[in-house]
Amino acid sequence: DKEHNFSNRRAGLIKALTGAVDDFYEQCDPDKENLCLYGNPDGTWEVQLPAEEVPPELPEPALGINFARDGMQRKDWLALVAVHSDAWLMAVAFYYGAKFDGKERERLFKSINSLPTVYETLSGKAAVKVKATSKKAVAAVVPEGQPPAKKARVEDAHPTPSAAGLRKPSPGFILRADGSLVALNNAHIELFWPDDQLWYRAEVVSLNSRARSAKVLYATGDVETLSIDEIASEGHLNVCT
């Protein structure tokens, strides 16, 4: 499934540039040889030398991203890597799509275009801004066929997860408000959206124990910052085991 392949590779790249950004930054040592950032089909990421095969099995990502690291502001360098990552994702997707007919390529592009780019996610341009008025669900504009925003969050940003929701939470435990946050560190969680009556999977990529907030990465690659106690007070956060 080429759409699933694209989505997972994209999620891996976003993880490298957000939740695992310090690790990614350290791996891009300018003293090493030409390095590339790869997003893998299983949703992971890696910094590696380019493929030795000529021509390569797949289009290659931008070469030598590590050489520019210390010559730019960190934010600008990450943005540059994000833009090149988007270009690489498109190249891989349409490498696979070269054998598609017109309708299949159109469907692939529509699926890709329904997701924010890596750059849009990194820069925050993908976020839908809303006014936080209460703990009740608020309206937000999201792509057709995707679940509406669950509630106001920290930073007032709403993701648009399109991965299939679950009617019941997976094995685990419902986090209590004001409880310990230790179990959330790098945890796989599920969030309940009342409007859909469904649970959506996400991964905690960073945790702020003092502010009691967490940045989570959805299966689509969308990133959201959560106010933990607000959601836990309603019993809407399941920690998977």
End-to-end Cα separation, the chain, in angstroms = 28
Q: What is the pLDDT of residue 131?
A: 29
- Report the pLDDT value the prediction gives residue 29, as an integer from 0 to 100: 95
CB atoms within 10 A of CB 163: 16
Render pLDDT for 31-78 as a digit per residue (tens, 0 to 9): 999 999 999 998 899 999 998 887 888 899 999 999 999 988 999 999
Reduce the secondary structure of 57-109 to three states and give it as a string.
CCCCCCCCHHHHHHHCCHHHHHHHHHHHHHHHHHHHHHHHHHHCCHHHHHHHH
Q: CA 49 to CA 42: how far, in whole Å?
A: 19
Burial (0-12, 13-18, 19+ Cβ within 10 Å), 59: middle
Task: Say what the pLDDT of residue 163 is.
Answer: 58
State the average pLDDT over residues 19-30.
Answer: 93
Matching residue, tokens 């090493």: 32
pLDDT tens across 142-185, in order?
Answer: 333 344 344 434 443 444 444 567 888 989 999 988 888 888 98
Tokens 């990529």 belong to residue: 205
Q: Could you give the CA distance from residue 129 to residue 124 in angstroms, rounded to a whole number?
A: 10
Q: Dump the DSSP string for 5-48.
A: HHHHHHHHHHHHHTTTHHHHHHH--TTSS--EEEE-TTS-EEEE
